[in-house]
Structure 1
Amino acid sequence: YTGFEEENRFLEGTGGIILDRVNRYAYAALSQRVDEALLGRFCKEQNFIPVPFRAYQTVNGQRLPIYHTNVMMCVATDYAVVCLDSIDDVEEREQVCHILRQTGKEIIAISEEQMHHFAGNMLQVENGKGTLFLVMSQSAYDSLDEGQLQRLSKYNALLPMPIPTIETLGGGSARCMMAEIFLKKEKH
């Protein structure tokens, strides 16, 4: 996809696309970093169904596009954490919710304020024993209310960590620091 840079078109996969690998859906907030046609091409090549939508945040009183989907959405095995308030278009919001529910996900909505504390930038991981954990920043954890924490704890242990330098200076949070690896272990 590198050649598309000359046309000023991009598909930043690590933050721009949230993959539901089990159900084969690719959620993507369209922005300067996620081109809809390139998303479609990626999905066709990788056998995913694209779920494009537009997501916004209020900055200094203006609604501006969210640059990465992982800022406002985390899709786990049995739930999704989503800032539904950022999807201004009602039809797009309903489409995202419909697909999440259709694939058996409980929707745990977060506010735009919680999103600004990186509550959408989490990643569910699994250890070698099959135990699930939700990795998040301490800032994200502290922004969640008791009900949200209880709902998340039903599915996995919560692993908050203080990463203020990354969040303040690095422009990202917990999920941005991690890579999803889905390769099978080689037997030696």
Structure 2
Amino acid sequence: MVRPHQFVSNPQTMADNAFQRPLDAKQSAQAAYAEVTNAIATLQNNGIQVHVFEDTGTSTPDSVFPNNWFSTHHNGLVISYPMYADNRRLEYRQDIIDFLQANYQYQQYVDFRHFANEDTFLEGTGSIVFDHQHKLAYAVESKRTDAELLRQVCQLLGYQDVLFNAADEHNMPIYHTNVLMCVATQFVMIGMNMVATADKPRLYNLFKQSGLSVIELSNQQIHQFCGNALELQAADGSVLALSETAFNALSEAQKTTLGQYTRLLPLAVPTIEAAGGSVRCMIAGVHPTVQKA
């Protein structure tokens, strides 16, 4: 996770992010710093190992969302991605890559950032929601998610790409897949109302083949970041990290269903959510390498 010292809502991403709204710079910076600090403490107190990197600069307003510029994989691969907004390309940090390679034995690093020079973008696990168990890569097609680059990533990983279309009730394309859906070990949470009609049968079929329980989210719940959650492994089992906003928007029946599979861990991040992302965006997952026998 990256703790921002100068957080502000990014004007360069506002045009296509329907979840974003303007913020007062000074107040939001202080509030976001506190929200990240408290989120880190809550995760750690619940048995989650968190690596924290500080961002003291002013040139990277979205640095609190590191999941967009890199991903890690069990096959020993780290990938960095081409970002849509100019100032988001400045978030790349060699010290984070070096730390991961030194501490988690990632043997291979693939850098796709140069594709941004060709106006070709793929924004990490914002664009891609991985089902690592079944080697699937779900992605909503958008100007931030290029189909051909997605296929290249899947080829590297030995995954199948699952590209589909989705838009909100105002017909605005969903800018990132990870605000629409969350794939966990035993379930998927998804705003099916926003998925294009032609794509729904294929998704339902894949969920069935994967043995996933489907928890459908309303449009309103998507706007409350219910889809922007992440399953994490703690010492005593899995937890589902999500925002307090999202937790409060879930129905009691949904909470009961989710409670059969995982433990819900709400984090209060309202200031950060005003920048258009929530808890899942704040966490770049570290997947330990699997050593071959």
Both structures adopt the same fold (TM-score exceeding 0.5): yes
Q: Is 1:176 equivalent to 2:281 in the alignment? A: yes
Question: Any gaps of 5 or more consecutive residues in structure 1?
Answer: none
Alpha-carbon separation, structure 2, partners of 1:25 and 1:53:
13
| 1:158, distance to aligned residue in structure 2 (A) | 0.5
| 1:7, distance to aligned residue in structure 2 (A) | 2.1
Q: Where does residue 142 of structure 1 map in the other structure?
A: 248
Alpha-carbon separation, structure 2, partners of 1:156 and 1:181:
19
Residues 69-93 of structure 1, C-alpha deviations (whole Å, 9 max, x = no match): 00010000000000001102x2311
Q: Is 1:32 equivalent to 2:143 in the alignment? A: yes
Q: Is 1:16 equivalent to 2:127 in the alignment? A: yes
One-letter code of the match for 2:224? H
Q: Where does residue 85 of structure 1 map in the other structure?
A: 193
Residues 119-160 of structure 1, C-alpha deviations (whole Å, 9 max, x = no match): 00000111134x110111011011111111111110011011
Q: Where does residue 167 of structure 1 map in the other structure?
A: 273
Q: Is 1:119 equivalent to 2:226 in the alignment? A: yes
Residues 40-81 of structure 1, C-alpha deviations (whole Å, 9 max, x = no match): 1111111100000011113xxx30111100001000000000
3-state SS in 1 of match to 2:235: coil
Residues 141-182 of structure 1, C-alpha deviations (whole Å, 9 max, x = no match): 1111111111111001101121111112x2210101111111
Q: Is 1:7 equivalent to 2:7 in the alignment? A: no
Alpha-carbon separation, structure 1, partners of 2:282 and 2:158:
26
Q: Is 1:106 equivalent to 2:217 in the alignment? A: no
Q: Tell me which protein shows more strand as a share of its residues.
A: 1
| 1:14, distance to aligned residue in structure 2 (A) | 2.3
Alpha-carbon separation, structure 2, partners of 1:141 and 1:128:
22
Normalising by structure 1, report the TM-score.
0.91
Q: Percent identity?
A: 37
Q: Where does residue 66 of structure 1 map in the other structure?
A: 174
3-state SS in 1 of match to 2:139: strand
3-state SS in 1 of match to 2:228: coil
Question: Any gaps of 5 or more consecutive residues in structure 2?
Answer: 1-111
Provide the aligned length of Structure 1 versus Structure 2.
Answer: 180
Alpha-carbon separation, structure 1, partners of 2:152 and 2:200:
23
| 1:184, distance to aligned residue in structure 2 (A) | 4.2
